Amino acid sequence: MKRIICLFLLFFGFANLSAQRHEIGLKAGMSNLVGDIGRTNYILQKPFNRSISEHGIPFYGGLIYRRNFNPYQSVRVDLGFSHVQFDDRYAQENYRKQRGISGTNSGVDADVVFEYNFLPVNNEQKSMLSPYVFGGIGALVYSVMPTFENDFNRDSNGKAIKPTTAQDFKQTLSYGKKIIVAIPFGAGLKYKFNYNWALSGEFKFKPTFSDGIDKSMIDDKDIRHHYNKDLKQPNSTKSLLQQEPYITQAKLWAEETLKNRTYGNTNSKDWVNSMTLALTYSFGRPPCYCD
């Protein structure tokens, strides 16, 4: 048994000696959202036939770092930004086309994944091509927290007008950022060339623990209310809108707004996927304890 352990450690040591230790580089590609609004294909979501000013470009860009433990195994960190778009008019399902809802969302993400190459592509050879698979854990920051801005009606000079009824003020909806946990996994192809450079192409699938990235479902605990304080309650620092009957009316309007914005399967979660290319540079080698 001791001999087996020693042989294993010796093999692992030589594997480390022949692997370039670090890789750093850039990633870029396309991102897409699979949710309750818009298309449902998991990869290759092309941009919509609409103006860029309306939907933007479904873009992913970021940084990549690999720590190669041996020619086959690595731990990778991805830091990126993605912009996703969703539009029912380009869905395959008829009920979505008839519904006609659309929107966009943007966010940043960070993933830590374990990567396994089927060939020793991390070795010090001049060139090699290898497929790989990966999986891990990640986090995203997207606009999924609804914030209701409760404000007074104003005159032509912008001065707040004191409400006379519970409906005599206005309410607007915006979204704040929230951290979302995800489970990234996928597969790719890595081509090493000129000793230190590598080009990787991959599909990454990222199921999340949120159903609100397409803003089709709002969690009650995420709702925020802001009350303009131009007019305050007597002898208080709180807004006049934070007393009855205004505060109740504001919350009723919020509930009705969110109820009308709930679409699709509330038990399903959103996926944020990407198809990317990465260019990396390898450097650093473990010390060689040779005579």
pLDDT value for 3: 54
Please give the tally of structural domains in the chain.
1
For residue 127, pLDDT beyond 70: yes
Cβ atoms of 172 and 121 within 8 Å: the answer is no
Residue 225 inside a domain? The answer is no
Band (48; pLDDT cuts 50, 70, 90) = low
Residue 259 inside a domain? The answer is no
How buried is 81 (Cβ within 10 angstroms: 0-12 exposed, 13-18 middle, 19+ buried)?
middle
Structure tokens at 174: 């915006």
- The three-state (H, E, C) secondary structure of 187-247, written as one string: EEEEEEECCCEEEEEEEEECEECCCCCCCCCCCHHHCEEEECCCCECCCCCCEHHHCCCHH
Expressed as residue numbers, the domain containing 121 is 19-144+176-218+267-283
Residue 125 inside a domain? The answer is yes
Higher local confidence (pLDDT), 159 or 140: 140
Question: Which CATH number do you get for residue 182?
Answer: 2.40.160.20
For 272, which DSSP code? Answer: E
Residue 199 inside a domain? The answer is yes
**pLDDT mean over 126-142:** 95
In this structure, of 54-63, 128-137, 158-167, 280-289, the range with the lowest mean pLDDT score is 280-289
Residue 82 inside a domain? The answer is yes
Band (193; pLDDT cuts 50, 70, 90) = very high
15-47 pLDDT per residue, tens: 444 556 899 999 999 998 998 888 877 776 666
Q: Phi and psi for 201 in degrees, rounded to 5?
A: -120, 135
